[in-house]
Chains A and B, each alone.
Chain A
Amino acid sequence: MDEVLSVRGLSKRYGQGCPACYELTGPRFETNLCPRCGSVVAAHDVSFSLYQGEILGIMGESGSGKSTAVKCLYFDEPPSAGSAEFFDQGEAYQLFDLNNAQQRRLANQRFGMVYQNPHLGLNFDISAGGNIAERLLMSNVDNYAQIRQRAISLLSRTEVLAERMDEMPRNFSGGMQQRVQIAKALATNPPLLFLDEVTTGLDLSVQAAILDLILEIQQQSRTSMIVVTHDLGVIRLLADRTLVMKYGRVIESGLTDQILEDPQHAYTQRLVASAL
């Protein structure tokens, strides 16, 4: 198997920071808030590898730092420390050493991101098709007919009616907006996809259909994915391996069935016991 992403010691701290920040926060102290300087340690020392075609789950409650880690990797936020290496088409990229333009190129062309809130992933001022067009145009596809064709095939793959491609996203239901977001994320056939709580807040039947779609994409395209969720069911269904985060730290990681059947950390045991 080929490694796609290698993350080492990723940390994100909000605030001025002090030498005690990392020592006095975390699950042991049951807080993210540094008692000395008041900084928020959103994530600290997150390390993992992701291989081609693999789905990695990052599980935790809100404030655990699971979304922060992904936002750093997608360049939405600069990390405070750590490194991440992305391997793509024979090249290795130190993600946090790249300049803005290089980061933007990767984010636009080689990564895909699907947010819980469709307003973050979609431009609501332009049509569903226009949203997909935007990503293609960023990748220097400049043929209108080709863009239309690609948008139609992406939307039909994510089961959005092609007739609706020229409608504004606000006309769509929440589930449809997520499908458009996924279609947009897939526009450039990225080898790496980030999914941040993509089914949270949707009706159960809609959730199921979105999860089926994600699995289908993973099987057909061998896309590597990082799935961030608080939902054990999503983890069980999608993830090969899982990291469990709490108070900004990875408290446990392993094969998903092992995490669910033989959790080691007290928090994970409680989580699994309350869900099963």
Chain B
Amino acid sequence: MNQEHFGFLDEYAKKEVRRATLKAVAIPGYQVPYSSREMPMGRGFGTGGLQLTLALIGRGETLKVIDQGSDDSVNAVNLRSFIEMTCPGIHTTIRTEQADLIQSRHRIPEKPLREDQLLVLQVPYPDALVVVEASEDRRKLLHGEADYSRLLVKLYEDIVKFSEITISHRYPTRINGHYVIDPSPIPRWDVPKLHNSPALILLGAGREKKIYAVPPYTQAEPLAFEDVPFRVEDFSDEHGQRRSCVRCGCNSSFLDEYVDSATGEQVYRCSDSDWCNQQLEQQQGVEQAVEVANG
């Protein structure tokens, strides 16, 4: 491994990513093309997010990498090791609040981000219009003119067929009143976190060679109808009771559904593992404190 270049990429490549990033921040939601270098892993494994992270992280800064909310999935572990190896002097963490830069696939952490934090999202398909227009030339025209009527027609057809909008992830979201982005495969649950986020959110698509941004405190409105508003996932059970995490008991987080292999029952757990752990720790802390008080 060539250790001369901090962050694996050569300086030109990093500068190009930074220039593209600046442009993306300057034009919220606009997909800025960049060259997207070959990385020592297959495209589609987060190379877009990785190049952003490598170009932006510096010595002494702290990194968190998550995949579907988890710090210890294979993909997250591999990316984290690679970044640690190629960026000597950085720290890593699994604690959301300790991270300066969070690279994520498919989730935005439950814990609200701060102005001094940066979220990098890995994006497989950057263009929200790809589902209604095959030609990139024509998509560019539609973006330029902010013509998203065909996406709205798709929502209309959804409501006609299913009486609700069925898009579960990659929900088309209008940034700063103009460009509609594909916010990466985050669940609907996370879409409102884009709106007026104190943290800068950068989105990188390695295979499609695009970088775009939701700058801090920028409007992000999911497309919807005036009378059929956007809704996040509903975690109510059949009695209208909010389901809670079987592990930590939290009833305000985004839940993953599992089948308990022993009982065959459906159970729900926090998707954000750090959040789940911190909830548990807090409870244990309270229990210990109670024990100490009672002791």
A and B bind: yes
**In the assembly, what is the distance between CA of A133 and CA of B228, in Å?**
15
Contacts A127-B157, A129-B160, A130-B156 given; does A144 touch B225 at CB 8 Å: yes
* B166, chain A: closest CB distance, angstroms: 14
User: Contact string, B156-199, partner A, CB cutoff 8 A, digits 1/0?
Assistant: 11011100000000000000000000000000000000000000
Kindly identify, within residues 215 to 241 of chain B, every residue whose CB is under 8 Å from any CB belonging to chain A. Answer: 225-228
A100 lies within 8 A of B156 (CB)? no
Cross-chain contact A143 with B226 (CB below 8 angstroms): yes
Q: Which residue of A lies closest to B148 (CB)?
A: A137
B interface residues with partner A (beta carbon < 8 Å): 141, 144-145, 147, 149-150, 152-154, 156-157, 159-161, 225-228
In angstroms, Cα B159 to Cα A145, docked, is 11
Number of interface residues of A (CB under 8 A): 19
Q: Are B145 and A100 in contact (CB under 8 A)?
A: yes
Residue from the list A101, A104, A137, A146 in contact with B152, Cβ < 8 A: A137
Chain B residues touching A, majority SS: helix
Question: Which residues of chain A are near B150, meaning CB under 8 Å?
Answer: 134
Contact B157 A126 (CB under 8 A): yes
A130 x B160 contact (CB < 8 A): yes
User: Does A142 lie at the interface of the complex (its beta carbon under 8 Å from any beta carbon of B)?
Assistant: yes
Closest-by-CB residue of B relative to A129 is B160
Asked if B153 contacts A133 (CB within 8 A), the reply is: yes
Q: How far is the CA of A104 from the CA of B160 in the complex (A)?
A: 27
Kindly state whether residue A166 has any CB partner on chain B within 8 Å.
yes
In the bound assembly, the distance between CA atoms of A242 and B144 in angstroms comes to 40
Contact in complex: A104, B156 (CB < 8 Å): no
Are the CB atoms of B226 and A137 closer together than 8 Å?
Answer: no
Contact of A127 with B226 at beta-carbon distance under 8 Å, contacts A134-B149, A142-B152 already known:
no
Contact A137/B228 with A100-B145, A101-B145, A129-B160 known, Cβ cut-off 8 Å: no
**Does A138 touch B at the CB level, under 8 Å?**
yes
Chain A residues whose CB sits within 8 angstroms of the CB of B145 once the complex forms? 100-101, 104
Bound CA–CA A197/B8 (angstroms): 63
- Distance in angstroms from B230 CB to nearest chain A CB is 12
Q: Do B227 and A133 have beta carbons less than 8 Å apart? A: no
**Closest CB of chain B to A148's CB: distance in Å?**
9
Residues of A104-156 contacting chain B, CB below 8 A = 104, 123, 126-127, 129-130, 133-134, 137-138, 142-147
Residue numbers in B under 8 Å from A143 (CB-CB)? 225-227
Determine whether the beta carbon of A144 is less than 8 Å from that of B149: no
Q: Which chain A residues lie closer than 8 Å to B157 at the CB level?
A: 126-127, 130
Q: Which residues on the B side are within 8 Å of A130 (C-beta)? A: 153, 156-157, 160
22 A/B residue pairs, CB under 8 Å, sorted by A: A100-B145, A104-B145, A127-B160, A129-B160, A130-B160, A133-B153, A134-B150, A134-B153, A137-B149, A137-B152, A137-B153, A138-B149, A142-B226, A143-B226, A143-B227, A144-B156, A144-B225, A144-B226, A146-B227, A147-B225, A166-B160, A166-B161
Q: Contact: B141 with A100, CB < 8 Å?
A: yes
Question: How many angstroms between the C-alpha atoms of A4 and B141 in the bound complex?
Answer: 29
The complex places the Cα of A143 from the Cα of B227 at a distance, in Å, of 6
CB neighbours (8 Å) of B147 from chain A are: 104, 138
Residues of B within 8 A of A101 (CB): 144-145
- Known contacts: A100-B145, A138-B147. The answer to whether A144 contacts B228 by CB under 8 A is yes
Contacts of A137 in B (CB 8 A): 149, 152-153, 156
Q: How far apart are B40's CB and chain A's nearest CB, in angstroms?
A: 41
Could you say which residues of chain A place their CB within 8 Å of the CB of B152? 133, 137, 142
